Amino acid sequence: MWTSDLPPFIPFFVAALLVLVTGGWLRGAIMVLTPVVGGLHLWYDVSPGITYTWNMLDYQLIPMRSDRLSLLFGYLFHIAALLAIVFALQVRDTTQSVASMLYAGAALGAVFAGDLITLFVFWELLAITSVFLIWARRTEKALNAGFRYLIFQVTSGMLLLAGALVQIQQTGSLAFEFIGLQGVSGWLIFLAFGIKCAFPFLHNWLTDAYPEATPTGAVFLSAFTTKVAVYALARGFPGTEILVYIGTVMTCFPIFFAVIENDLRRVLAYSMINQVGFMVCGVGIGTALALNGAVAHAFNDVIFKGLLFMAMGAVLYRVGNTNGSDLGGLYKTMPKTAMLCIVGASSISAFPLFSGFVSKSMVMSAMIEQGHDVLWLALLFASAGVFHHAGIKIPYFAFFAHDSGIRTQEAPLNMLVAMSIAAALCIFIGSQPQYLYALLPWQVDYWPFDATHVLTQLQLLFFSALAFVWLNKQGLYPPELHSVNLDAEWVYRKPLPAMARLAYRSATQMGNNLDSISKTGLKWLGNSLKRAPLSGYHLASSWPTGSMVLWIAVILGAYLLVDVLMM
């Protein structure tokens, strides 16, 4: 029986158990119905202010705390789960099916968690369940990438737990509310959130692992982990100024890597960091307009980024790779996928009447209102870069750049249905944003379709397209090549292992040297004692065991006699 205080993650966990013991059409029906029924329950039965508490030892845990912020992400994650499940209906891999349901449930558990311990539990569940979507590809690269991914994710969880324990010791409270950077606990939790949010130099788990996931697994991955981190920042660190600068860097640096990257799913991974940067900026600004812009852009990003990952997943499913150098001309045999990909590209590029425009403009407006003129110019540059690497490069090199000679089938029907729903949402939200704005947590009066916003964005897109065409015609645009592009991950994939191996060899050699020295010293000492005059004394010679026992008995008897006489 559904009740208003039923935590939203429970249906997904129950469904995961049912998926484990079922198969065929019944498994697919359970997976599809779970986000539908759960979403209807959330929409009709759960309202702001509902909490569910549970006492453990001397502390009160809050497995469910609903307000407008958590409800918005709850709606989003049910939509994302439905789209990803429909896209993956052809998958017959039990591991992926169970992991995806648990992963979606863990994301819901995290956004409705009202205390730091509950948040930590679901934070770690996100890591443990999602890694199987990478390993399920069953290649050596996927296996290694999954281990590296898991190290980062578990480290994030350990930092969160450490911060929570310090917070409890300092304040006596477990509540997951505003935290700030006033103490050690705040910095530990901030760093934990930053890892999952893919802060600069902590971002390579995303660009390393997501492209190695299965075609359908990457769609799930794109929806949950980073958006849970954005939610956590919006809950715990709104108005933290350092986030404005971190977010600005996040919007800019991935552009350079995405432009030269050949693997189009890795391009999307860099693009995800770029888009999360806009959200981080909004959280850092901290005004109602900026925070609404951050969460609205998270809502839209899950849908249009999911659409792009689905399009590239369909290409990977049919062709076997997503390298721009090996693709091209696929519009001839995958025209529907190509058209739907263009809708996603238009949305991420923030074309007017597409979803990205109605949320990104809120963050940009908030940035300029708060007097961050230079940072606003950086975001403007980042917006142009998005159009280059995601709006143009993804559909152009996958479907139109040149005829690769590949003739394959159109994407399966379930994939087309999922992509079509996502595309329809991109257009609906972009043309009717008032419905999304009505769900936003903070009250603000904003409308994106004024002359200034529309003309500015259209000019930006026009000149960005012109620059791409000119660079491409002049042969200056980076070509699509099979290559390895060095990023910050080079540090922990090359120098750190080399240093560890050197340290191991040095320690081994030192141990061998010490062993040799000790053996030599003991041998010298033994020879010296043999040559010493002491060896000729009677007491230094070997005595029979029986004699030694006798003398020990005599000595013990003497001690006992002395003790009795002194009593």
Spans of all domains in the chain: 238-494
In 3-state terms the chain splits into helix, strand, coil percentages (rounded to 5) of: 75, 5, 25
Query: pLDDT at position 565, please?
Result: 64
- In the block, tokens 């391009």 appear at 267
Number of other residues whose CB lies within 10 A of the CB of residue 67? 16
Biggest CA pair distance of the chain? 113
Instruction: Return the number of other C-beta atoms located less than 10 Å from residue 93's C-beta.
Output: 17
Which residues touch 552 (CB under 8 Å, ≥6 apart)? none
pTM of the predicted model over 0.85: yes
Task: Please tell me the predicted confidence (pLDDT) of residue 213.
Answer: 96
**CA gap 454, 58 in Å, rounded:** 56
Residues 6 or more apart in contact with residue 113 via CB below 8 angstroms: 62, 63, 64, 65, 119, 122, 176
pLDDT score at 445: 86
Q: Give the residue ranges of DSSP H helices in 449-543.
A: 451-473, 489-493, 495-531
Go through 108-140 and write b for each residue having 16 or more CB atoms within 10 A of its CB, e for each that does not. bbbbbbbbbbbbbbbbbbbbbbbbbbbbbbeee
Element (H, E) at 442: none
pLDDT for position 542: 58
Residues 148-183: pLDDT tens digits? 999 999 999 999 999 999 999 988 888 999 999 988
Q: Which residues of the chain have pLDDT under 50?
A: 1-2, 535
Which pLDDT belongs to residue 1?
40
Q: Which residue type is seen at 564?
A: V
pLDDT at 5: 74
284 alpha carbon, distance to own chain's centre: 20
pLDDT digit string, tens, across residues 461-491: 999 889 888 888 888 888 777 878 778 777 7
291: nearest Cα among 234, 365, 211, 350: 234
